[in-house]
A = this chain, B = another copy of it.
Amino acid sequence: MRPEPEKLVKEAVERARASGLRRTKALEDVLSILIDACQPLTLADIAESKDLDSGADKATVYRLLMKLEERSLIRRLGLHDRSAYYTMILPGEHSDYLICNDCGRIEKLDIACPVQVLEKQIAKKSGFKKLYHELEFFGQCPDCAEKVG
């Protein structure tokens, strides 16, 4: 486990407080669960966790996650809306993407992907079969930056 998880939680709670959130049991629980997990969790994972001592409602956890995301304490993974995205697998073609978090525009990146080499190493080390990867860059595109400032 990570060094001093309690300290990380404490700091995270402080950052949350500094950003305007109130110190509630639910907030502390959610941050603690996310930090202990060391990996991405779903709303259900958190809301049904035995470590959610406050027994907070799913809606409460949901609203906390929204607020924490707005304040950049946490991040929501993947293409950011609730639908599944599909893409062709074309022989000899690999794609990475550049996505605007504000307008959702997805742009294909024409780059030499530096991950291919790493992928081979990981395949060997982990013993995973049929290994492939996804690499996405997210941010705010120039158009959207102009609109909001």
- Which A residues lie at the B interface, using CB under 8 A? 8, 12, 31, 34-35, 38-44, 46, 65, 68-69, 72-79, 81-90, 95, 97-98, 100-101, 106-109, 111, 114-115, 117-119, 122-123, 126-142, 145
Q: Collect the chain B residues with CB atoms within 8 Å of residue A38's CB.
A: 108
Q: Tell me the minimal C-beta distance from A67 to chain B in angstroms.
A: 12
Q: Collect the chain B residues with CB atoms within 8 Å of residue A130's CB.
A: 101, 139-140
**Alpha-carbon separation in the docked complex, A73 to B41 (Å):** 29
Q: Which 3 A-B pairs have the closest CB atoms?
A: A128-B139, A40-B85, A78-B78
Q: Collect the chain B residues with CB atoms within 8 Å of residue A98's CB.
A: 122, 126, 128
**Alpha-carbon separation in the docked complex, A30 to B133 (Å):** 24
Q: Tell me the minimal C-beta distance from A80 to chain B in angstroms.
A: 9
Interface contact B86-A75, CB-CB below 8 Å: yes
Q: Tell me the minimal C-beta distance from A102 to chain B in angstroms.
A: 10
